[in-house]
Structure 1
Amino acid sequence: MRAAPSPLVCVRALSKHYPLRHWWGGRGSVFRAVEDVSFDVFPGETLGLVGESGSGKSTIGRAVTMLNPPTAGTVAFEGTDLATLSPRAMRRMRRRIQMVFQDPYAALNPRMSAGAYVAEAFRLHRPEMGRAERRDEVAALFRRVGLDPRLAGRFPHQFSGGQRQRICIARAVALKPSFIVADEPIAALDVSIQAQVVNLLQDLQEELGLSYLFISHDLRMVRYLCHRVAVLRRGRIVELASSDALYGNPVHPYTRALLGAVPVPDPAAERARLRAASAAPAPAIPEGGVLTEVAPGHWVAASKPEDHHP
């Protein structure tokens, strides 16, 4: 019997708090953006993180990559607690951990050409590379993400939104990372371009063996792309399961309401599915919001009355 693979990324009890100040300048209470979040990402897996705006999705993405370190909890990459690394060691670790942001134009430097932006990853992390070698690597990356290498001399304002996101993806995969946090990478794109970018992410995953934390509010794309899905509600995970289990049998009331808000080609069939799920007997879940395994690999938190509506 084959042993279960070890997680590539292991997040335990992650919390992120922000101090609030009174209008007169004194210290106030604390805003708990994320509270006690735990999950794993396995090699070659795409874990989707969904929830309404303000639920803490992007906060988790930045905390996992240590761009905005968590207030409490641990983030372990291949068994190494990232919070214990020195700045120099964390810089070396960033070769393995990358991020793709929601707004590709804001992520790009308007004063740098697209080729220089991608080549900067080699300049910072592989200084031994010569200029000609960097140029060849950039050309290969442009072709890999579906761009003409002759466009490398152009500046961000000369590209479309989809092309800009492809440039950002080329920069993210330049150093052959193992883990990428994709924070709403298709939200700012046209629908026709969204599918192209998602297919590109899938192709790169198969080619390079990447693992993704895919943050999105587009539940249809999440179902298409992700192996497992975590549903976030007010900074806490309320349900975590495989994509088929979550969409086929949502247990938590918030998950049902969230899925019920997705437009589908056959509304009658979808309403019937949700009514059947609502009529199913609720599993015994302890109070306090603790995740409980109600089926193999299907975890659900205790629900409260306000959880029934997003």
Structure 2
Amino acid sequence: MARNFRDKYQHEYGIAQQSDEPRPHPGVIVGGEAGREKRKEYAIVFGSKIFGSIAAVWWMFTYDTGWVEWSAFIAGYIVLMLGIVLGFHRYYSHKAFETSVPMQYILGAMAQMSIQSSVLRWAADHRRHHAHSDEVGDVHSPWLDGKGKPTSRLKGMFHSHFGWFMDDCVTDMSIYGKGLADNEVVLWLHRTRWFWLVFSLIIFPGIWGLAFGGWDHVIGTILIGGYFRTFVVLQITLGISSYAHVVGSQRHTKGVGTARNSFIFSLLTFGEGWHNNHHKHPRASFQGMAWWEIDIAGYVLLLLEKMGLVWNVTRQPKYIKDESGEWVLAERKIAPKPAKAEA
């Protein structure tokens, strides 16, 4: 089934014949049907978010809003952010833990409610980002354009935050889609991605507004708890791709590109703001390395592990500061062997 679906919709997986334009990197396909499909889909997805959010702001200043609308916003924010962090990122992109098939569906559905893409595309794009962070081949570096050419800070920030959605460069699934393009759960989630858009923007907030406030609150809850919520979540998530590669602190400097740590972004993204830590150890389920580096999603993952819903959870290695102030891997202290008694 997976093979038949992939063959039928080759352009959606980046394995269709590309245009005559040369590739900037072997893992990048430029133009062709895949590039056109990407532009068309993202234009629909993000256009709906933008116009819906404008309508939401107008509604806020025109009609009374209260706990019904904003509780839907908060509840949806929590669901979406946990879906992005645990679903899109730590499970499907990096396989930082293992879980059951039902949980794979749940995490994937929560992630796709963010309407940022399907699990298939999000995870493959993210793998390419890690393989070539801030180098030719990176999906959304603030230092390069989509084809790997150096660019100005302003243009780079625009590209990394939003522009990469609208270029015609797509990730080659034959390189970065292993374990995704042949996964039945991932393919089902990809096929149903438009349902999750409607469910997240309209059905979920509409039912919430009707249940807790009646018909008078349905439209406002859809606009604020649906469209505006997904738009805010998108901007915060994209901040990791843009600002977290320009602003913040760096515990590690080798093999991490320009990734930086940010306490504020970590709070907003439930732990993703420890981006420098993450680039050093991408498969670690916990991104905080110090006790004060709050990782809410990591705590949720620990709870799920205690409940037996996830297992083989990869931990961050322990780091300490050496005499020069550099962060280094903590060495195991091994007691010296006792000297043999002389005969």
Which TM-score tier does this pair reach, normalised by the shorter chain?
under 0.3
Q: What is the TM-score when the length of structure 1 is the normalising length?
A: 0.26
Larger radius of gyration: 2
Higher helix share: 2
Higher strand share: 1
